[in-house]
Chains A and B, each alone.
Chain A
Amino acid sequence: MRHIRWTATVLFLFATLCYAQDATPTDPETVAELVQQIKDLQTRVKLLESQRNHADATPPNASNPSAEPSDRTASVPAVEPELHDVHGIQWRGFGEVDYKVLNQRAAELGAYGFVPGSQGNFYTGDFGLFLTSKLTDKASILAEIIFEEGDAQTYQVDLRRLLLNYDYNDHLKMSFGRYQTDVGYYNWAFRSAAWLQTTADRPLVMEFATNGGLLPTQAIGVSVTGEIPSGRLGLNYVAEYGSSDTVRPDVNDDGHATDENNGNQVNVGLFLRPDAVRGLQIGTSYYHDKISNNVVTQPSGIAFPQPPGAPGPSARYGQTIVNGYVVYVAHGVEFLNEGFLIRDAALHFSDTVYNTPAFYSQISKQFGHIRPFFRYQYVNASSNNLIYDDVGLRFGPSFGARYDLNDYIAFKAQLDHTVRRDEPDLNGLQFQLAFTF
């Protein structure tokens, strides 16, 4: 009997122990909740400590007579350092590692680390350091320093953007310094970072001028943008006035470049983002400048003899670029459509006019981590166009996919087929790891 009672007591204690263990909050959700609570409390303690430190350091009669009640004045400066959004420099960065193979042994567009005679190369493209600093509630600094790969794995530094921004209000936002021109949507939406782009490269017409692109992508001056009161239409304007000095290497990397010796450019544009269709943006812009067609050799910059009958380097052209676009970016869909007409009209020496139409259309859709895309692009510089003689007629599709490994790294694979006037069709395969940090 005594043995039975002893056994019963042991069983009872064991059962109690088991119950107690079951009741202990060891399931992952509860643990995560507790950890979150601890983190919240730690943040709060840190905040209160910083408040107390500031209160200790502040003289008792230093308060602003027009300020809010005392409990509020104490918390204003205390919270600000915690949020790190006033003063100090914020660093970001982006970069890419690419492998591109062509079915020809000559480079196309930015030569990067292209080895003459080879068909495929690894290269690092643009590595960018992106700095911002808030000076006041309305003024801030933005700088984008690009380390751009050149020939034979050499690197050059390009200050792609350096801006003093002043946002007076939503109707008047001003930027002074070196800006990326708002000719078209692509230049605004994707700036310099490959990570921002869906595709592995930019459409030819939107390629940076320093890589052989057709448009003036950079200028130094003033850029103003803002909303125009228009209710649900969501109308905005952009106006830019600045100087660019574009030296555009030939897209086939034949060692020649065009030094445009630009004048001061004017660019004005309008775009609307209607409330009724979230993600839709329709815009247009008008750009004007005066340029030259000075062919020089790279990298020496020595003038290259022009073909017989060509106007000399002092000949100037009035360059007008008209752009229109319709884009839709929402619900995981990206549908970009942009058209350009680049008109270069000779000034004084003849009545020659070169019209270069170009467009691209790109569509993609996000499925989980993967985003397949298709792009079709077209550029047609006439065969007598002396300014874009290296471009000629090019058109064709690109397709591929972007896979987001996480929030910071994307892998892209892209196939290109380009039809060219008087040259064989060009096929390309490109792989890219694009990242931001």
Chain B
Amino acid sequence: MPLLICLTSLVYVQVAAAQADDVAVVVNDHNPVTKMSRAELRKIFAGEERTWPAGFPIRLFVRAPGTHERVALLKLLGMTEDEYRRYWTAQVLRGEAQTEPFTLPSNGMQKEALIAYPGAVALVNLQDVKAGMKVLRVEGRKPGEAGYSLN
């Protein structure tokens, strides 16, 4: 019996830790989008999709290198930090993007940007999600749920 309790606790701790690592995809409250696939998310953060279905332009906000959200972003795009920077310089020089995604130094600023821009989208640590941030489902799952793929 004590062994069972120990194992259950261990599993619970591991699941809780994994859920704490989840990164939420957040958008402006007024954005009608509620869910997207991982492939769609990758296209959005690679600048391949530039408009929301509602018609307004997508504005990307990302966190600074070294943050957990940035690591999740690079994992999503399958790039290293160097590749990511060069990719966006290339996108701008091709004329495929007006500018690189804006890097914000804090979650507070991300929240302000999300409120300010109807087309804003950002990645935020699950525990840092605040009121005013609309969390999207990715592949049908919300962050914190088992099987959520963005972490």
Which residues of A are in contact with B by a Cβ distance under 8 Å? 36, 39-40, 43-44, 47, 68, 71-72, 75-76, 78-80, 83-85, 90, 92, 94, 130, 132, 134, 137-138, 140, 142, 161, 163, 165, 167, 169-170, 188-189, 191, 193, 195-196, 227, 232, 273, 275, 278-279, 330-332, 366, 404, 407, 436
- Cross-chain contact B112 with A132 (CB below 8 angstroms): no
Cα A191 to Cα B105 with chains together (Å): 33
A191 to B48, CA, bound (A): 17
Decide: A278 near B112, CB < 8 A? Known: A44-B106, A132-B95, A436-B89. Answer: no
A134 to B92, CA, bound (A): 13
Of the residues B49, B98, B108, contact of A140 by C-beta under 8 Å: B98
Q: Is the CB of B109 within 8 A of A191?
A: no
- The number of chain B residues touching the other chain, given as a range, is 35 or more
> Is the Cβ of A161 less than 8 Å from the Cβ of B93?
no
From A40, A138, A163, A167, contact of B105 by CB (8 A): A40
What are the 5 A-B residue pairs with the smallest beta carbon separation, nearest first? Answer: A275-B39, A79-B116, A169-B51, A40-B105, A76-B116
Bound Cα distance from A404 to B99, whole angstroms: 22
Alpha-carbon separation in the docked complex, A332 to B79 (Å): 8
CA distance A76 to B120 in the complex (A): 12
Q: Is the interface of A mostly helix, strand, loop or mixed?
A: mixed
How far is the CB of A434 from the nearest CB of chain B, in Å? 12
Of A44, A71, A138, A227, which contacts B108 at CB under 8 A? A44
Pick from A78, A85, A142, A330: contact of B78, CB below 8 A. A330
Residue on A with the closest CB to B39? Answer: A275
* Complex CA–CA separation, A232 to B38 (angstroms): 11
Nearest-Cβ distance from residue A234 to partner chain B, whole angstroms: 8
Known: A90-B98, A191-B93. A137 touches B105 (CB 8 A): no
For window 93-107 of B, CB contacts with A under 8 Å fall at 93-95, 98-99, 102, 105-106
* Cβ–Cβ contact A47 & B112, under 8 A: yes
- Chain B 17-58 near chain A by CB (<8 Å), digits 1 or 0: 000000000000010000001010010000011110001110
Chain A positions within 8 Å of B112 at CB level: 47, 75, 79
